[in-house]
């Protein structure tokens, strides 16, 4: 059995534009639990009060999976990480220190001896607080293998129950990694009593191949993320890894606890939460992964699906029969759909959402899954004390400067302002800039149609820069000017005094 350690909420969140608020992390963690992952790395508790709160809250919410927090070999990090995970049913402390020459010399400014001492000291300290300890040798694949064996021996003697061999910069190749792990297995005393974990980055597009090679060499845990998000080019993608093991069970002869039918839900939920789209040719979860365009392939698939499909789409949760939601649907069907899409809600939340659902179904014939995601994403974005759009009017005609008037509320104050620009959206952003009185630069802006038909919902995703920091905003509406204003409001609410409502659905 291969343990799946999901780090979507920690390493995944380290990818630019993938930050999640607490309510988004809770929804995602619940979905990861339905997916059946063994370990959820909930965050790096000491890195910020927000990270602490989310690790602490996830430790309360998650019942089956182990909940881990990352910590440096620093007392304060370990204390804070333990405080955050201590209420979990199965807590884990994940302690790390770099072991490559380049990291030790330039980053840590430590000698090999100092690194070994520090590992001994802080893994023992972590062990005095928590039974389940993972130790990671950051940049392991660029470390001297003999030194690495000493590193792991030290960590195991100090109480580590899992040792992790990360390919931090995505440098290694599959055969090389396979041999490297074999060498570590042969050269490290006590390694037979602990889990061997791997954590691969995708800088050369080899993260999944390297993880699979590591499994063949004896790794018992793989670290990965949904949709492969993560630092730089990302981490090994959970769905690719798991489906490779499942589809080629004849070769790998290994199982995981993953409920593969939950893969599509997990992937869609993350993509909706982060606003990061999945490329159509992405293996397993891309729009084209099970699509057949050419005649010869279509002919083959019509006669026998397996001529061109190595996986059954149903095995990842595609093509499930589902109830069609519309203006005549009731709360049971809405709850059923929300659960099917990976959202858990209580009765009060259902009442509130049902009102929004009815408003939408009055204007749309059919409410698609994407519409439901859109309603939920709006709920996640609620901000207490932040700006709230009340109304807007746009005046535009070909070749002339456009004007947009926005009426907006912040706490009890209603503000009305006019902006001008090249087109109504440019004018709306000019107006929002004046309202917030801040120096804001628009860095990225895209609008996607998220549902079908002429009444489709448009999703705006943008990034703005303020005070050297980048803030992402999302807005959804059947009116693209409104979705753009909502996205802008969502972005500026993150720095203009609003506080994300932690218990929003």
Ligand X SMILES: CC(=O)SCCNC(=O)CCNC(=O)[C@H](O)C(C)(C)COP(=O)(O)OP(=O)(O)OC[C@H]1O[C@@H](n2cnc3c(N)ncnc32)[C@H](O)[C@@H]1OP(=O)(O)O
* Interface residues toward ligand KIV, by CB under 6 A: 11, 70, 96, 136, 138, 164, 166, 168, 199, 201
Binding flag, residue 44, ligand X (CB under 6 A): yes
- Structure tokens, 238: 């959970």
Residue keyed to tokens 């029969």: 321
**Cα(42)–Cα(25) distance, integer angstroms:** 8
Judged by CB under 6 A, the stretch of 68-76, 261-269, 341-349, 486-494 that binds ligand X is 68-76
342 touches, from Mg ion, ligand X, ligand KIV, none (C-beta below 5 to 8 Å by class): none
97 touches, from Mg ion, ligand KIV, ligand X, none (C-beta below 5 to 8 Å by class): ligand X
CB-based contacts of 354, cutoff 8 Å, min separation 6: 331, 334
Site string for Mg ion, 8-37 (x = CB under 5 A): ---x--------------------------
Find, among 240, 169, 242, 235, the residue nearest to 18 by Cα. 235
Least CB distance to ligand X at residue 147 (A): 16
Binding flag, residue 41, ligand X (CB under 6 A): no
Q: How many residues bind ligand X (CB under 6 A)?
A: 15
164 touches, from ligand X, ligand KIV, Mg ion, none (C-beta below 5 to 8 Å by class): ligand KIV
Binding flag, residue 107, ligand X (CB under 6 A): yes
**Cα(480)–Cα(405) distance, integer angstroms:** 15
DSSP string, 389-408: EEEEEEE--TTS-EEEEEEE
The phi and psi torsions of 276 (rounded to 5 degrees) equal -95, 115
* Binding-site member from 96, 180, 290, 343 for ligand X (CB under 6 A): 96
Q: Which is nearer to ligand KIV, 168 or 260 (CB)?
A: 168
Least CB distance to Mg ion at residue 112 (A): 22
Query: N- to C-terminal Cα distance for the chain?
Result: 35
58 touches, from ligand X, Mg ion, ligand KIV, none (C-beta below 5 to 8 Å by class): none
* Binding-site member from 223, 231, 240, 371 for ligand X (CB under 6 A): 231
Q: Which is nearer to ligand KIV, 10 or 373 (CB)?
A: 10
CB 342 within 8 A of CB 265: yes
Any binding-site annotation on 272? no
Q: Which is nearer to ligand X, 72 or 282 (CB)?
A: 72
136 touches, from ligand X, Mg ion, ligand KIV, none (C-beta below 5 to 8 Å by class): ligand KIV
Q: Which is nearer to ligand KIV, 80 or 492 (CB)?
A: 80
Least CB distance to ligand X at residue 151 (A): 12
Least CB distance to ligand X at residue 250 (A): 35
Contacts of ligand X in 132-171 (CB under 6 A): 138, 168
- Burial level of 293, CB count in 10 A (0-12/13-18/19+)? exposed
Give the distance, in angstroms, between the CA of residue 496 and the centroid of all CA atoms in the same chain.
25
- 321-356 b/e (C-beta count within 10 Å ≥ 16 → b): eeeebeeebeeebbbebbeebbbebeeebbeebeeb
The phi and psi torsions of 353 (rounded to 5 degrees) equal -70, -30
Q: Which is nearer to ligand KIV, 11 or 33 (CB)?
A: 11
Q: Which is nearer to ligand KIV, 136 or 490 (CB)?
A: 136
Least CB distance to ligand X at residue 274 (A): 17
**Cα(76)–Cα(288) distance, integer angstroms:** 47
CB 460 within 8 A of CB 484: yes
CB 386 within 8 A of CB 496: yes
CB 423 within 8 A of CB 402: yes
The phi and psi torsions of 417 (rounded to 5 degrees) equal -150, 155
H or E stretch at 5? strand 3-6
Query: CB 301: neighbour CB atoms within 10 A?
Result: 15
Q: Which is nearer to Mg ion, 94 or 335 (CB)?
A: 94
Q: Which is nearer to ligand KIV, 159 or 166 (CB)?
A: 166
DSSP string, 35-78: HT-SEEEEE-GGG-HHHHHHHHHHHHH-SSSEEEEEEESSHHHH
Q: Which residue is nearest to ligand X (CB)?
A: 72
Contacts of ligand X in 11-30 (CB under 6 A): 11, 14
* Binding-site member from 22, 39, 65, 73 for ligand X (CB under 6 A): 73
74 touches, from ligand X, ligand KIV, Mg ion, none (C-beta below 5 to 8 Å by class): ligand X
Parallel, antiparallel, or unpaired for β 66-72 and 39-43? Answer: parallel
Q: Which is nearer to ligand KIV, 66 or 136 (CB)?
A: 136
Any binding-site annotation on 11? yes
- As a dihedral over the C-alpha atoms of residue 52, residue 56, residue 61, residue 66, rounded to 10 degrees, the angle is 100
CB 309 within 8 A of CB 288: no
Binding flag, residue 74, ligand X (CB under 6 A): yes
161 touches, from Mg ion, ligand X, ligand KIV, none (C-beta below 5 to 8 Å by class): none
**Helix ranges restricted to H, 248-367:** 249-252, 263-274, 295-303, 331-340, 347-363
Least CB distance to ligand X at residue 72 (A): 3
Least CB distance to Mg ion at residue 302 (A): 43
> Contact residues for ligand X (CB under 6 A)?
11, 14, 44, 47-48, 72-74, 96-97, 107-108, 138, 168, 231
Q: Provide the annotated binding site for Mn(2+).
A: 11, 199, 201, 235
> Contact residues for Mg ion (CB under 5 A)?
11
């Amino acid at each position: 059995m291969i343990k799946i350690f999901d780090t979507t909420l920690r390493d995944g969140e380290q990818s630019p534009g993938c930050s999640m608020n607490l309510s988004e992390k809770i929804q995602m963690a619940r979905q990861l639990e339905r997916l059946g992952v063994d370990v959820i790395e909930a965050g790096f508790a000491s890195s910020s009060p927000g990270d602490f709160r989310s690790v602490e809250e996830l430790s309360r919410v998650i019942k089956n999976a182990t909940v881990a927090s990352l910590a440096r070999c620093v007392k304060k990090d370990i204390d804070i990480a333990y405080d955050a995970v201590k209420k979990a049913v199965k807590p884990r402390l994940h302690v790390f220190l770099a072991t490559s020459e380049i990291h030790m010399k330039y980053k840590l400014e430590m000698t090999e001896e100092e690194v070994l001492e520090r590992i001994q000291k802080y893994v023992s300290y972590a062990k005095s607080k928590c039974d389940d300890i993972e130790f990671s040798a950051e940049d392991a694949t660029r470390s001297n293998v003999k030194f690495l064996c000493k590193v792991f021996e030290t960590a195991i003697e100090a109480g580590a129950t899992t040792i992790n061999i990360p390919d931090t910069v995505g440098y290694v190749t599959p055969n090389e990694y396979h041999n490297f792990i074999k060498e570590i297995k042969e050269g490290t005393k006590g390694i037979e009593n602990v889990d061997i974990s791997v954590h691969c980055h995708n800088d050369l597009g080899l993260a999944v191949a390297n993880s699979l090679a590591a499994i063949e060499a004896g790794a018992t845990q793989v670290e990965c993320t949904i949709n492969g998000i993560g630092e730089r080019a990302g981490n090994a993608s959970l769905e690719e890894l798991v489906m490779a093991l499942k589809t080629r069970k004849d070769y790998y002869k290994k199982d995981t606890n993953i409920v593969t039918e939950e893969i599509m839900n997990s992937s869609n939920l993350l993509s909706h939460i982060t606003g990061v789209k999945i490329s159509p040719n992405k293996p397993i979860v891309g729009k084209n992964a099970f699509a057949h365009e050419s005649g010869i392939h279509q002919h083959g698939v019509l006669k026998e699906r397996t001529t061109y499909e190595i996986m059954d789409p149903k095995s990842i949760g595609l093509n499930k029969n589902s109830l069609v939601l519309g203006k005549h649907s009731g709360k049971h069907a809405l709850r059923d759909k929300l659960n099917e899409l990976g959202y858990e809600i209580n009765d009060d939340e259902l009442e509130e959402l049902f009102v929004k659902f009815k408003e939408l179904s009055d204007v749309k014939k059919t409410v698609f899954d994407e519409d439901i995601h859109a309603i939920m994403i709006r709920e996640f974005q609620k901000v207490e004390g932040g700006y709230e759009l009340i109304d807007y009017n746009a005046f535009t005609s070909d070749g002339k400067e456009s004007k947009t008037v926005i009426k907006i509320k912040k706490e009890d104050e209603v503000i009305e302002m006019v902006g001008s620009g090249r087109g109504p959206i440019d004018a709306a952003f000019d107006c929002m800039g004046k309202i917030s009185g801040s120096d804001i630069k628009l860095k990225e802006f895209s609008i996607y149609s998220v549902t079908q038909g002429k009444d489709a919902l448009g999703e705006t995703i943008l990034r703005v820069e303020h005070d050297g920091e980048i803030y992402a905003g999302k807005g959804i509406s059947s009116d693209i000017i409104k979705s753009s204003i909502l996205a802008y409001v969502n972005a500026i609410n993150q720095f203009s005094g609003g506080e994300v409502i932690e218990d929003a659905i």
